Amino acid sequence: MDGGGQARANERAAKPPQGFSTSALEKRLHLRKRAREDAAHNSPRHDAEDLSSAERAVLEAVAAERAHVDQARNEARAEAERRLRALAPTPQDFAGPALDARLALKQAAGRVGHDWGEAADRAAQARADLDAFKKANQLRRGAVYPSSTLLQAGLLLCAAVFEALFSAALFAEDDARGLLGDAITAIGLSGANVTLGYLAGFLGLRYLQHIKLPIKVLGGFAFALFTALALMLNLFAADWRDQMAAMAGREVDLGSGASFRFWSLLQLDSPQAIILLMLGAGVWVFATRKGYSGFDDPYPDFGKMDRAAQDAAHALSDLRAEARRELEAPIEAAKIALAARLEKMRAEYEAMSKAFDTAALKMETLDSKARALDEAAAGAIHIYRQENAAVRTTPAPPYFSVPPPIVGPSLDALGPSASMIDDARARLEEAQKQSTQALEGLLRDLEDAAARLDAGAAA
């Protein structure tokens, strides 16, 4: 029922039952007539303390109807108390889920402790090895290497393909085999040139800067060897292209004159041969640069040591995250259990509150009816006293100025039921406090367990 409907119901209930209004009582009991008759005999006496017979008749007439209302009120009160006892929140155990979670937390910590310690040891050892390597080799910088070697390999392949296509076009100008026939030769030359450049950078320049002299000498020897081979390859290709141009112009057999000579560079006459030599040199320099720093750190083994340290650190981080999830699982389960129990108590309290509100509305209706009866009786007695005092020749008794007595018990509404609601609210607040304390304790235990694992790994 909404507020307006309840107000209208109370307004109707505030009217006394038919035949029990002030005017009805006055007519039924002939109060005015009896008041004048009593006043003619100066009754009640001026010093009387007891009510007159007419006043008692009013109270007796109202008391019977008031007894029915009081009986309905008692039944409504008893029903409300019974209903509230049935709906009172059931006490919940908030310590049980917390104890189960603590036990599961200790078991999980025991399971992950060994793996956690081993991963931490590996990470610490890898970091110590990296620091020792940097100190031994006088390195004061971080390792520099690409995140993807596939991209660098792709760049080398593109350089080889570019040189092969360009070289095939240069050879095809004076070769009867054409572009397709010279493509095989160009692919072989460009592949060899890129490979020699990569080896010169990776095995030569990188080891040439090593702090240890024997390794530095070996690096210098490797760089000189691969550089000499690349120089011979590119000079041979340029001289070959120059001889092909000469043969196409003079139509002579190369014979033994086509053999390679180191000083043939001084005798290059065709522009194509010079371009081919410059192209090979440029691609070789590019491949050497990629071999030097494109695939790994320029200092030998520095990148490998740094990657090992990072891999160990990442493995430890992943293990920590997985272990943290495993440690948090019992806490989450306890949180769900605590929330479910608290929600159950909250739902029971809400149902209890609604039942109390319904009973309070019903009781208010009955109280309004009882008050209407009391007011009707008081009004009727007031008419009698007023008429009596107006006619009598002696002073009215003092009790005329005192309100007439109530014919029924006092209207104490739902005092015990309200106390039950207060107790239920107090139990719910205490349950919320216990749930919060249990959850906070579990979170502290979780942090302590993680701290112990970290401390054990550090030790």
pLDDT, tens digit, 9 for 90 and up, residues 148-198? 788 888 988 998 888 888 777 776 665 555 555 567 777 888 888 899 999
Closest C-alpha among 210, 215, 213, 216 to residue 139: 210
Cβ atoms of 407 and 62 within 8 Å: the answer is yes
Cα distances from 326 to residues 111, 319, 340, 449, in angstroms, run: 10, 10, 22, 12
Kindly report, residue by residue over 59-80, the tens digit of the pLDDT.
888 888 888 888 888 888 888 8
- Measured in whole angstroms, the distance separating CA 291 from the mean position of its chain's CA atoms is 47
Phi, psi of 138 (to 5 degrees): 55, 45
Q: What is the pLDDT of residue 265?
A: 46
Burial class (CB in 10 A: 0-12, 13-18, 19+), 75: exposed
Cα distances from 97 to residues 279, 332, 434, in angstroms, run: 77, 11, 12
Cβ atoms of 361 and 1 within 8 Å: the answer is yes
Q: What is the pTM of this model?
A: 0.59
Which amino acid, residue 245? A
Asked whether the CA dihedral 123, 124, 129, 132 is positive or negative, the reply is positive
Cβ atoms of 54 and 29 within 8 Å: the answer is yes
Closest C-alpha among 130, 122, 452, 147 to residue 315: 122
What is the rounded distance in angstroms from the CA atom of residue 165 to the CA atom of residue 277? 14
How many CA within 13 A on the CB side of residue 78?
6
Average pLDDT score, the chain: 81
Kindly report, residue by residue over 238-267, the tens digit of the pLDDT.
777 667 766 665 433 434 444 444 444 446
Q: Which percentage of the chain shows pLDDT scores above 90?
A: 12
At residue 145's C-alpha, the angle toward residues 313 and 304, to 5°, is 55
